Amino acid sequence: MKRSRFTEEQIIGILREQEAGVATSEVCRRHGVSSATFYKWKARFGGMDVSEARRLKALEDENAKLKRMLADAMLDNVALKDLLGKKW
């Protein structure tokens, strides 16, 4: 997955700047992001604090790790079934 140029803290700061009354187009121009990216950030991080964003990131990382572990276990399970299912 491509890494963002902005950290969660910076994204939340940009969103707060827009909430303070600055026009969305001005915020996007100042920080060099498209309006689509801004609204995607707003959908994901809107109303969050920095600590909540960090917790979300940690949970997403843990979820990805667990999904990889499950995929490995399922692959091992299929390999063992194929091995035991063969006639000698």
pLDDT by residue (tens digit) across 32-79? 999 999 999 999 998 888 899 899 999 999 999 999 999 999 999 999
Judge contact between 72 and 31, C-beta under 8 A. no
Show the DSSP H helices in the chain as ranges: 8-19, 24-31, 35-45, 50-85
Of 79, 16, 7, 71, the residue nearest 48 (C-alpha)? 16
**Inter-helix orientation angle 35-45/8-19, to 10°:** 100
| Band of pLDDT at residue 86, cut at 50, 70 and 90 | confident
Q: Please report the pLDDT score of residue 65 as a whole number.
A: 98
Q: What is the structure's pLDDT at 52?
A: 92
Q: Which amino acid is at 45?
A: F
At 64, list the tokens.
């990805």
- pLDDT-derived band at 1 (thresholds 50, 70, 90) equals low
